[in-house]
Amino acid sequence: WELFTDYSVICNGAFLSLPMKLFQAMAPDPTTHDVSMLELVTLLILWCDGALDDRMTLLYWVYTGDRLAKPRPMNVDGVGEILHALYGVCFKLGITNVVPDREYQRALAIESLELADSNRDSLLTTDEFIPWAINSMRSQRLILPFM
């Protein structure tokens, strides 16, 4: 954590185009000293400067684990991992008041996959994921019940 957060190059109170207060919210848990790297990467992608399409493409690649020209499709577990990180980040930043339990997150991942999966193959391609992710981000439908 100390190595990653060596803020020797801070520009206008920001590091990697994010305000310092966002990084401070992601500091290690004082009881476990753990840092969720997926939460941190999700934070960077969702709150950094950059084109929304590019950020959602990067989010997809992070959670499919594929950096090749043809990313592999995302299944319900990948959607669930994104939701879990999203809820953790939003809670730590004070955007939401609670983190929904894993059962709720799983049900929402299934519902979200069904909503985004235009060809009904139970897998999301980038072409299916990006519009769903952008729409979900703009509408805030995933976090509104917990604000």
In this structure, is residue 21 part of a structural domain? yes
In this structure, is residue 103 part of a structural domain? yes
User: What distance in Å separates the CA atoms of residue 133 and residue 136, rounded to the nearest whole number?
Assistant: 5
Question: Is the separation of the CB atoms in 136 and 112 below 8 Å?
Answer: yes
In this structure, is residue 53 part of a structural domain? yes
Give me the CATH number covering residue 18: 1.10.238.10
Q: Shortest CA distance to 29 belongs to which of 91, 98, 95, 82?
A: 91
Number of domain units in the chain:
1
Question: Is the separation of the CB atoms in 64 and 73 below 8 Å?
Answer: yes
- What mean pLDDT comes out for the span 11-30? 57
* The predicted structure's pLDDT at residue 24: 62
* The predicted structure's pLDDT at residue 3: 44
Domain of residue 140, residue span:
14-146
Read off the pTM: 0.78
In this structure, is residue 90 part of a structural domain? yes
Query: What stretch of H or E contains 80?
Result: helix 76-92
Predicted confidence (pLDDT) per residue in 87-104, tens digit: 998 998 899 999 999 999
User: What distance in Å separates the CA atoms of residue 121 and residue 91, rounded to the nearest whole number?
Assistant: 32
Predicted confidence (pLDDT) per residue in 106-136, tens digit: 999 999 999 999 999 999 999 999 999 999 9
In this structure, is residue 3 part of a structural domain? no
Rounded alpha-carbon distances, angstroms, from residue 2 to 8, 29, 33, 108? 12, 14, 12, 35
